[in-house]
């Protein structure tokens, strides 16, 4: 016999890779519920679904991720047997560009599409930061005009409201990468030779909310070491360039108006001023009626000049001073919108001075002016705002960029009260398809962070409030009798045919107590019992598991429990389905 001791095989340790998570039934159902609501909005806007695989050739994805300091440049990759490198997609936009380029002759442009799927980032995981997460994207490919960008921002707003997030609890913020490129040019970072440095600067600015001004300052210089000791190289700007950049960005970010301009805007766009203008025109327009005027104002097709040109609607004269509250509210809303437009005109004029005559910067401002003209006419100015702090970290954005931000407060992992923040964003990426085709194929789109948005909706109580009812359990009293098994299965199928979730117990049937404990752990509302005695009588026992738990709490001993059979009653087996339906309805009613 060998002297060597026999060693037991070591058990494999069950563990999750860092940055990944399992999903519970409630998480999956909440995702399905939310995705269905988003899909409804996208379909209403005329977008169609498409699906691309999780793997793409690495060169097709391109190198657009923010964390390029990691060895794999942010992606998970493997080499196929033909020595081609493939990578798990890091977003849904780069694969779409490949799909469009590959099918360019079959696709009708503009190509309006949406996609849902998992994406993967080989990044350092942390609290709330995963390496696998779900995105839901919508894109319009082959749409060169800013009207497509404006529509994307409006669709984001409609999506927030379809999910039950009320106005005031969210905002869609809009900026333009060309404006930021203009800032770079203004400090001498224009030209292809500075493209990498410009991108590093933009990514540093994009981290302002998370790292604060000091963290961004470090990333603009030599680099920054985080709390774990990991070092991120910086843009390497000189002290002079850093100061100029910070001063320019601060000036652009200052959305306040001087006192004179502020008073001018308030005076010109107050509800009282607009009411006076409308009243004056009403008196000279041949006694128009209030209903016609309200309908005209609600169309949101007017400017102040339209008041002066107002025609002669039919009907009786109504003095604005004695108009109902709904009309005065309408005037106030219109005044607010007009005032907001006036402020944006002021901001953008100020930006033009700061950026100077840089071609990209001036082009970006013109695009923003056109976007907000469209957004204002469509009545979305109370939901979409101009925001110079929106950057977006991916390299491929070339024009307007936007983010959906939630404004309500939550408590973070440090116990601090903070605003929830961004749940999605996107922008224009005119060069992504061109990498494959060599031809200009303009495109714009946005992406929703599904997991993050689910967390927000749960905080608001807008998701997962209607929990899925656990199945009715058909217990097994004699698992050796195939006739009885067939009978139990028939009960189960009858319940399912009536639209009731049901399952027949599939574990070790010999210990009946285990079956009821299983029902308890599963949260089953009802258990069905039929032994040989019940079979001979043609009846079944129905156990109300919810009521039974309440009654059992008041019973002192096992003997009393068995005698009382809490929450249990019998019915004819032919009446099983009807009895279960009534019991479930009573449970729902509370």
Instruction: Tell me whether residue 4 is in a domain.
Output: no
Q: Identify which has the larger pLDDT, 353 or 293.
A: 353
- Name the band, by pLDDT with cuts 50, 70 and 90, for residue 563: low
DSSP 119-177: EE--S--BTTB-SEEEEEEEEEET--SHHHHHHHHHHHHHHHHHTT--TTSEEEEEEEH
Q: Are residues 138 and 61 in the same domain?
A: yes
Residues of the domain holding 269: 259-341
Instruction: Tell me the pairing of strands 111-120 and 48-49.
Output: parallel
| 400 three-class SS | strand
Domain boundary among 405, 435, 460: 460
**Tens of pLDDT, residues 504-520:** 999 999 989 999 999 99
**In-domain check, residue 8:** no
Spatial CB neighbours of 21, under 8 Å, sequence gap ≥ 6: 130, 132
- Is residue 15 included in any domain, yes or no? no
- Residue with the larger pLDDT of the pair 263 and 167: 167
- Whether 374 is covered by a domain: the verdict is yes
Choosing from 429, 460, 491, the residue where a domain stops is: 460
Residues 461 and 14: their CA atoms lie apart, in Å, by 34
Q: What is the CATH number for 479? A: 3.40.50.800
Q: Is residue 288 part of a domain?
A: yes
Same domain, 377 and 496: no
Clarify whether residues 385 and 268 are in a common domain: no
Question: Does residue 450 share a domain with residue 572?
Answer: no
Query: DSSP label at 278?
Result: H
Q: What is the pLDDT of residue 287?
A: 46
Write down the pLDDT at residue 288. 45
Q: Is residue 407 pLDDT above 70, yes or no?
A: yes
The number of distinct structural domains making up the chain is: 3
Q: What are the backbone angles phi and psi of residue 122, rounded to the nearest 5°?
A: -85, 70
* 3-state class (DSSP) for residue 232: strand
Give the chain's length: 590
Per-residue pLDDT of 106-137, as tens digits, reads 999 999 999 999 999 988 787 667 899 999 99
The answer to which of 151-155, 286-290, 391-395, 449-453 has the lowest mean pLDDT is 286-290
What is the domain-level CATH number for residue 37? 3.30.930.10
> What does the pLDDT average to over 23-51?
93
Band (pLDDT 50/70/90 cuts) for residue 319 is: very low
Would you say residue 19 lies in a domain? no
Task: Give pLDDT, residue 469.
Answer: 87
Residues 412 and 490 in one domain: no
The model carries a pTM of: 0.75
Query: What's the token pair of residue 15?
Result: 């563990």
Among candidate residues 438, 460, 482, the one where a domain is terminated: 460
Instruction: Judge if 244 and 104 occupy the same domain.
Output: yes
Query: How distant, in Å, are the alpha carbons of 88, 336, 430, 587 from that of 36?
Result: 25, 34, 29, 28
**DSSP character string of 52-91:** --SEEEHHHH-S--S-TTSTTTT--EEE-TTS-EEEE-SS
Q: Do 269 and 247 share a structural domain?
A: no
Looking at the structure, tell me whether residues 203 and 336 fall in a common domain: no
Q: Are residues 516 and 483 in the same domain?
A: yes
DSSP code per residue over 469-501: PPPEEE--S-TT-HHHHHHHHHHHHHHHHTT--
Please check whether residue 187 lies inside any domain of the structure.
yes
User: What confidence score (pLDDT) does residue 313 get?
Assistant: 35
- Radius of gyration over every alpha carbon of the chain, rounded to an integer in angstroms: 32
Name the most confidently modeled range: 66-70, 553-557, 572-576. Answer: 572-576
Looking at the structure, tell me whether residues 203 and 153 fall in a common domain.
Answer: yes
Mean pLDDT of the chain: 79
The secondary element (H helix, E strand) that includes residue 408 is strand 400-411
Residue 69, in any domain of the structure: yes
Angle between helices 482-497 and 576-589 (to 10 degrees): 50
* Residues 108 and 60 grouped into a single domain: yes
Kindly state whether residues 246 and 269 are assigned to the same domain: no
């Amino acid at each position: 016999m060998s002297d060597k001791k026999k060693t037991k095989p070591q058990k494999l340790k069950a563990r999750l890779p860092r940055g990944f998570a399992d999903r519970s039934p409630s998480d999956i159902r909440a995702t399905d519920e939310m995705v269905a609501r988003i899909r409804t909005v996208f379909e209403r806007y005329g977008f169609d679904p498409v699906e691309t695989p999780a793997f793409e050739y690495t060169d097709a994805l391109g190198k657009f991720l923010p964390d390029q300091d990691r060895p794999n440049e942010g992606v998970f990759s493997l080499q196929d047997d033909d020595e081609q490198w493939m990578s798990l997609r890091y977003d849904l936009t780069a694969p779409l560009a490949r799909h469009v380029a590959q099918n360019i002759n079959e696709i009708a442009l503009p190509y309006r599409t949406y996609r849902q799927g998992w994406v993967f980032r080989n990044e350092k995981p942390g609290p709330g930061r995963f390496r696998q997460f779900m995105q839901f994207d919508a894109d319009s490919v082959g749409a060169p005009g800013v009207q497509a960008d404006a529509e994307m921002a409006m669709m984001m707003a409609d999506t927030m409201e379809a999910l039950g997030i009320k106005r005031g609890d969210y905002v869609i913020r809009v900026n333009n990468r060309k404006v930021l490129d203009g800032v770079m040019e203004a400090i001498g970072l224009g030209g292809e030779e500075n493209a990498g440095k410009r991108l590093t600067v933009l990514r540093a600015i994009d981290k302002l909310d998370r790292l604060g001004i000091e963290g961004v300052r470090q990333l603009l210089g030599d680099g920054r070491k985080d709390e774990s000791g990991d070092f991120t190289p910086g843009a390497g700007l000189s002290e002079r360039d850093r100061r100029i950049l910070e001063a320019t960005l601060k000036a652009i970010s200052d959305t306040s108006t001087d006192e004179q301009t502020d008073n001018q805007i308030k005076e010109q766009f107050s509800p009282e001023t607009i009411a006076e203008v409308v009243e004056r025109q009403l008196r000279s327009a041949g006694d128009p009626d209030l209903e016609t005027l309200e309908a005209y104002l609600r169309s949101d097709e007017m400017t102040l000049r339209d008041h002066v040109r107002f025609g002669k609607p039919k009907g009786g004269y109504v003095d604005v001073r004695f108009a109902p509250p709904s009309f005065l509210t309408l005037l106030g809303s219109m005044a607010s919108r007009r005032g907001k437009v006036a402020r944006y005109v002021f901001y953008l004029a100020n930006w033009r001075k700061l950026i100077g005559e840089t071609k990209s910067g001036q082009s970006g401002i013109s695009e923003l002016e056109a976007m907000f003209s469209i957004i204002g006419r469509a009545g979305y100015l109370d939901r979409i705002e101009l925001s110079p702090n929106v950057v977006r970290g991916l390299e491929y954005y070339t024009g307007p960029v936007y983010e959906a931000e939630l404004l309500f407060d939550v408590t973070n992992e440090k116990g601090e009260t903070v605003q929830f923040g961004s749940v999605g964003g996107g922008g224009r990426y005119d060069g992504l398809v061109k990498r494959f085709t060599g031809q200009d194929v303009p495109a714009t789109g946005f992406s929703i962070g599904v997991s993050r948005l689910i967390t927000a909706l749960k905080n608001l109580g807008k998701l997962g409030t209607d929990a899925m009812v656990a199945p009715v359990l058909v217990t097994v009293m004699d698992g050796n009798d195939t006739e009885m098994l067939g009978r139990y299965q028939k009960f189960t199928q009858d319940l399912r045919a009536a639209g009731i979730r049901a399952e027949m117990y599939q574990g070790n049937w010999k210990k009946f107590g285990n079956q009821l404990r299983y029902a308890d752990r599963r949260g089953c509302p009802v258990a069905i019992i039929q032994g040989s005695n019940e079979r001979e009588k043609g009846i079944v026992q129905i156990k109300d598991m919810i009521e039974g738990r309440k009654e059992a709490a008041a019973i002192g001993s096992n003997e009393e429990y068995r005698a009382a059979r809490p929450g249990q009653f019998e019915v004819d087996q032919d009446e099983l389905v009807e009895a279960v339906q009534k019991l479930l309805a009573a449970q729902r009613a509370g």
